[in-house]
Amino acid sequence: MIKIPRMPLSTNLSPGSKPDRHKVGRDIYELLTNTGRHGYKQRLRKRTIKIKPEQNYAPSEVAAILNLSYDAASRLMQKMKGVVDSGTPTRRYKRGKKKLRINGKILLKCLRNKSRDWDSVQYRCP
């Protein structure tokens, strides 16, 4: 059995008027596709970010730019050239932390190369 969260539907109707089917359909779609408390990831992915060449970007911002998940963006960034890892190294009995950053110029260059060579699936940027 699927548990559907309760959300108010668009029911602000005056007597004798018809409901807007587009609005009601959108509300129903949001009810069915809402993931509950995990919805913040979707909101972060839907935000728009303007790429500035002088700024460094984290995997969360790269995920929003490329419309990927955070994990997919971090895996992609590990393969890219020009990515700086300023995290902690692995020590005995301790796992090292990754702190990936990429410069805006390199990210723009990768996106240009990717859009130019769309047929070949290659994420490694020169």
Burial of 15-36, coded b for 16+ CB within 10 Å and e otherwise, reads eeeeeeeeeeeeeeeeeeeeee
**Is residue 79 within 8 Å of residue 122, measured between CB atoms?**
no
pLDDT at position 56: 92
pLDDT at position 122: 46
Higher pLDDT among residues 12 and 24, named by residue: 24
Domain contains 108? yes
DSSP 92: T
Q: Which domain holds residue 58?
A: 45-88+97-116
Number of independent structural domains in the chain: 1
Rounded to an integer, the average pLDDT of 78-103 is 88
Domain contains 77? yes
Strand partners, 56: 103
Domain contains 25? no
Domain contains 122? no
- pLDDT tens digits along 48-87: 778 888 999 999 888 888 888 888 999 999 988 889 888 8
